[in-house]
Structure 1
Amino acid sequence: MVALDIFVVLYRRDPSASETLLTLSRIDFQALHIDVEVYVWDNAREALTSPDMGLLPFMCRYRWSRENEPLSKIYNTLLRLSRGEHVVIFDQDSSVDDTFFRKLVDSINVVHADLFVPVIWHEGEIISPGRLQWIKGAALRGVSPNTLLPVGFTAMMSGLCIRRAFLVRLAPRPFDERLHLYGVDTRFCRDVSNLDGKALVTGAVLGHDSALRSTVDPQAVLQRKIWLWQSWLYVFDRNLLEALAIRCYVLWKILRVSVGPRAPGRFLDVMNEVFR
């Protein structure tokens, strides 16, 4: 029997409208020999009363916050509250099935690893896992199940399974709480590689709707880029040279969105927002 704690973070979304929770509710975890406990964090919720959680046919713990708490802080808080041997993290819109968990358990039982990473697709392309080439993520060629990822790998958080014994090595806060939304996964993967953690690709597959890739409104795209650039300042700060280099690169990115008649932002305004 594999013990899994599942974290699901909602953002102004009723649990009954979460694709992740709806699909989790249809899975017979007992038949898969999984002892599961689900932790739901309802972020930026205005209501003071907890919604009906009867849709989940297994142990579920519900927490909510009126403020829009950073994902890193939420993950660290839930880690302190949970006790399972492995932790699986999902966003609110993942469609999962018993095949996902069957392949995950098969990998856990076959290979000793610290992270178990699904393959994530977006519009016909694999966007996770990848490999970090300085600050740019690049696709990994020939990703196959039950193979270890190279040093410098990257992986998105949704569907990621982490062995709790490894998280102890990253204590007391495995996730960098300077990061709010963007960069939480990249920083975590860098920290894992720095500790020689082993990350295994499972046979599990997820689809993902990337807001940064699918948003078309120029101002909305610019705002998300600003959040991304802000995160880089904390993701890439291992030494003075890296910190200086990332700031130069961010300034170049700001210049690119500030030049031309259709530029969505002005250089000084964007720079002040990024470096505030």
Structure 2
Amino acid sequence: MKKLYLVVLYKQKYSDSQTLHSFSEFYFGKNKNNFFVVWDNSPSSDTSGAEIGRFLHTENVEYIHTPENTALSKIYNTCLDKYSDFDFFLIFDQDSKIMRPDYDSYLEKTILENPEINIFLPQIYSQGKLYSPGKFWIFKGCHYKNLSVGIHKDKLYTAIMSGTCARIDFLKKHNIRFNENLSLYGIDTCFFSDVRKIDIKFYVLEERLAHDLSENHLIGEDLKNHTRLYLKGTLIMNNHSILKTLIVYFYQLYLKLLGKI
């Protein structure tokens, strides 16, 4: 089982990344079927692939530095194309802490026991609330109160991209890509919207990933800007439907009247 682990860095050295620390601490690199791509979007870097390989205890690593800050959707698609012969694609932000020391082997065991499942998702909590997986409808997300470990079916499910494990053959068969009209916000929501059109099943893993939800700390103009970008992504995602586009426009007008954007 060949697994591609992608970690995207931004203005952070690899040794300060919570995610890469987890990979190193739990010796994910000892599994010869794992390959690691560390994609660095920082303006400058003095890091090498060999240095990261030593940190991760593996030679199966590629380090890519793009100081122009390549869009995440482009990064994801580039990795999918380059490593299309792999079995699974795992995407991580730089600040996700894995809690289970046996996560890599546990994930492989779970995958083997569930050959019909294409999407495997960790649980991501913030302030005691389950944020991922969640639900999304046109422009509005909502939370599950809880989700048991195992297989679920939901026509509205979505998830935070970090920690997502996707079966590559499934993505290739149905030509599911990451929308490159989106550079940051909405990429995950759009991706899962496309996945759900084909398959509404997903597997909730027995892992509570510790992940920093930066939008929870935003206030004032930063929060307004975040909301504007979020709505822009939502419009792009729904541009195939006149009705859904109108609904988003009316919601945008409503937020303007409230002074929230």
Fold shared, TM-score > 0.5 on shorter chain: yes
2:68 is aligned with 1:67: yes
The answer (yes or no) to whether the contact 1:130–1:140 under 8 Å persists in 2 is yes
> Among residues 32, 37, 44, which one is paired with 1:39 in the alignment?
37
Shift of 1:50: 3.7
Structure 1 segments of 4 or more deviating over 4 A?
none
Number of the residue aligned with 1:86: 88
**CA deviations over 1:70-100 (Å, ceiling 9, x no partner):** 1111100111122320011100011124333
Residue 170 of structure 1 and its aligned partner are, at CA, apart by 4.3
Match of 2:139 in 1: 135
1:24 maps to: 23
Do 2:119 and 2:203's aligned partners in 1 also have CA atoms closer than 8 Å? yes
Q: Distance in 2 between matches of 1:246 and 1:40?
A: 36
Number of aligned pairs? 255
Letter in structure 1 aligned against 2:147: V
The Cα RMSD (Å) is 2.1
Which 10-residue stretch deviates more, 153-162 or 234-243? 234-243
What TM-score do the two structures reach when normalised by structure 1?
Answer: 0.85
Report if aligned partners of 1:103, 1:204 keep a CA contact under 8 Å in 2: no
Distance 2:40 2:24 in 1: 17
| 3-state DSSP of counterpart to 1:92 | coil
C-alpha contact (below 8 Å) 1:101/1:204 kept by paired residues: no
Equivalent in the alignment of 1:182: 185
Task: Kindly name which structure, 1 or 2, has the bigger radius of gyration based on alpha carbons.
Answer: 1
Q: Which runs of 5+ in 1 are unaligned?
A: 259-269, 271-276
**Equivalent pair of 1:107/1:146 in contact (CA under 8 Å):** no
Q: CA deviation at 1:29?
A: 3.7
TM-score (norm 2): 0.90
5+ long unaligned stretches in structure 2: none
Task: Give the secondary-structure state (helix, strand or coil) at the position aligned to 1:207.
Answer: strand
Residue number in structure 2 paired with 1:101:
104
Does residue 165 of structure 1 match 2:166? no
Superposed CA offset, 1:116-167 (max 9, x none) = 0111011111101012244222222441111223111011101000000111
What letter is aligned with 1:137? G
Offset, 1:63 = 0.5
Q: Secondary structure at the match of 1:180?
A: coil
* Amino acid paired to 1:40: V
